[in-house]
Chain A
């Protein structure tokens, strides 16, 4: 572990001067009702460094960032800026102190012009009549010191720009305030491989300018490519701040998850011959490309690709939640017509949606009612009359949830009160109650603590063992690798690669996911990024 004040490391060579700590947070504690989200976290930033902040969902990254941004106030702990105590009681103070934040959603207003977006939330230039004009803004927007060059007309609506161009606009917006530190939250989540490279060039440009960058990311390879130091958070506690040179990917994973990768994924059995689901030239509405796919009994099919590659759309189209344009779907060899989730459910297809809160659960409804939501008929008091036998309902749910280890003393309380992991188990419980045979999981473990994740993995593998077919959509590659029998990589609505998981390696998959400018047969070539890492 490195101390925070002394640091004769690599950045010194590049910066020509000893990097000094410009920002320091000591013993930050933040409590939310019922839980401590940050516990005695120390964090420091040196001049001109790129500092990666990593950790699982719920590890406290965003809470920490929000404290720095003045959105939350810490319950305890101190923040120093250039050695002096500062208090960020609101967002304005944080901005005044030279901190700048770029969130994943970019906070842009799509129909406004580039120039107007640059002056969003800031003092706008005015003309003689004290009126804000586009002309003045255009002039001012072009004269931001050290701005990243941007080859677009500043009058175009920002929504017309590509994502990377939007990022550059937002970075320039941040630069206009002349910040010392820029915090970037998951900047690469929706970028392609080339765009990531381009963003990295911009980040390098910022470093040369002397701006420190705090880089929050899930993508391990990026951290090794760009960051100088990395801080790992786990369950609200800082595990370590390490120089990137002194660590490797495996160790970083271990620190993040708190256990070895091998302990997380259960043993799985081989899939069987029988085909449970087959898509024949299915065309989703959004992409208009043909998709063929075969899912066997007992098979876990990992489906991955960058955000926007069409994974979720494919899952939703199979389930009837999104419209299909054409193509045939065969369930257990029989051609079926699925127009709505209702149809899919009656074909024993289950869908565990990406956004648990928005789509997976009816949060204000009780746990019992949630679990039986897809299987009303099972709990009828009289076969022909749609009235519930609430006693039977309760017995069933109690037994089921007990078997998948949900600890809640009151099953009549609203589902809101469950933890993220238990909520996801509750969603699963719905489909177990329904006795579905084909499961489509969309990011099943997003935002879930490691304990529940392991439990959900176990359930998924168990379902496969019992003969269900499973499509696992995920951007968590360790999950894809650890669970799948076969891995499909999607890109712009098409399945580009089909890899048996035995032959796959994390780095290869990552490369394939990101890089779609390469021809299809490039599986063997070792990606450059990981090669660089390995020779250290």
Chain B
């Protein structure tokens, strides 16, 4: 029984919460709102996947917020220069990958502490973004919005494209983690990096790879943000990082305790988005939503500790 609570507690809570909103909040169950929720999971989802990858190998990447911002700006600037939309997006993602390699080399090969290191790179990237935009918002005019804007705001058969985009990242990364040899290596590093190294696993490379994935997902998040608001500006996107953190920790107290995994993270994303959505419908003032997000983060960490205790007994 305890075991079930520890493993499935977050899932049960999520279902109860959804049912509660469904029954007591008529606006919540409207089709428009449900589609809206799906859309809202996209950006936070991408950030959360970005955060999950390094967390899986015991590192953290605070630079995802700034990376997203820089990549969003890059996409906007390239589009304004009249570059083809595919190229613009491709180059933005490539920038994310380069940032990922940079972080990955520092942490994976030069043994920088990821906590401090990525705060540093975050500042660095933020600074570059500031410089590029001179602190101004870059607005995308209507001449580009047709195609690019669809990415962030339109639906296919009722499903938001950005949500589909998020799953396009989530599913391959999940498969990669769960079924490949490198994925198994990641699992080993998460459990015991010293041992993993002794068994011939290339710890340095795998750590770098995790940061590359992180940078890639963050840049995707940045592109989606830019396309959905049709503007870009330098930002650290701290609120997203915190939300993603909450999602990851909710994930780490689901099914596989004290382990970060994409499935759990996605549940965490839905958890936070649905909770926030519900509160907004309840007309709770916005500062309360902030308090709620903070509380969810703390509860998520607490949950993972409690769940570990349960499992160990």
Contacts and interface: CB of A to CB of B under 8 A. Distances in A.
B192 interface: yes
Contact of A365 (B179, B182, B188): B188
B109 to A, nearest CB: 13
Interface stretch (A59-67, A147-155, A369-377, A513-521): A369-377
A373 B183 CA distance: 12
Interface residues on A, range: 20 to 34
A68 interface: no
Contacts of A341: 197-200
Contacts of A346: 200
Contacts of A319: 198
A34 to B, nearest CB: 10
Contacts of B190: 364
Contact of A351 (B196, B198, B202, B313): B198
A380 B184 CA distance: 12
B191 A363 contact: yes
Interface stretch (A46-54, A119-127, A181-189, A354-362): A354-362
B136 interface: no
B252 to A, nearest CB: 12
Nearest to A319: B198
B191 A362 contact: yes
Given A342-B200, A386-B182, A360 B191 contact: no
A495 to B, nearest CB: 24
Contacts of A298: none
B195 A361 contact: yes
Interface string A368-397: 010001101000100000111000000000
A410 to B, nearest CB: 13
Interface string B193-218: 01111111110000000000000000
Which of A342, A351, A353 is most buried by chain B, counting CB atoms within 10 A of its CB? A342
A438 to B, nearest CB: 15
Which of A344, A364, A374, A388 is most buried by chain B, counting CB atoms within 10 A of its CB? A364
Interface string B159-174: 0000000000000000
Interface string A36-59: 000000000000000000000000
Nearest to B196: A362
A33 interface: yes
B195 A388 contact: no
Contacts of A369: 184, 187-188
Nearest to B201: A373
B84 interface: no
A430 B199 contact: yes
Which of A321, A351, A359 is most buried by chain B, counting CB atoms within 10 A of its CB? A359
Given A373-B188, A374-B200, A358 B194 contact: yes
Given A386-B181, A388-B181, A361 B200 contact: no
B179 A353 contact: no
Q: Is the interface of B mostly helix, strand, loop or mixed?
A: helix
Contacts of A345: 199-200
B162 to A, nearest CB: 29
Contacts of A351: 198
A341 B188 CA distance: 15
Contact of A33 (B182, B192, B198, B313): B313
Which of B179, B180, B181, B198 is most buried by chain A, counting CB atoms within 10 A of its CB? B198
B180 A364 contact: no
B198 A364 contact: no
Given A369-B187, A387-B179, A387-B180, A374 B199 contact: yes
A362 B195 contact: yes
Contacts of A365: 187-188, 191-192
Interface in A273-324: 319, 321
Contact of B191 (A359, A364, A380): A364
Given A387-B179, A387-B180, A363 B192 contact: yes
Contacts of B195: 353, 358-362
A519 to B, nearest CB: 38
27 contacts: A319-B198, A321-B198, A340-B200, A342-B200, A342-B202, A353-B195, A358-B192, A358-B195, A359-B195, A360-B198, A362-B188, A362-B196, A363-B192, A364-B192, A364-B258, A365-B187, A365-B192, A373-B188, A373-B201, A374-B199, A386-B180, A386-B181, A386-B182, A387-B180, A388-B179, A388-B180, A430-B199
Interface of B: 179-182, 184, 187-188, 190-192, 194-202, 258-259, 313
Given A358-B195, A369-B187, A374-B199, 19 more contacts: A321-B197, A341-B197, A345-B199, A345-B200, A353-B198, A358-B194, A359-B195, A360-B195, A361-B192, A362-B187, A362-B191, A362-B192, A364-B191, A364-B258, A365-B191, A365-B192, A373-B199, A387-B179, A387-B181
Q: Which 4 A-B pairs have the closest CB atoms?
A: A362-B191, A386-B181, A342-B200, A345-B200
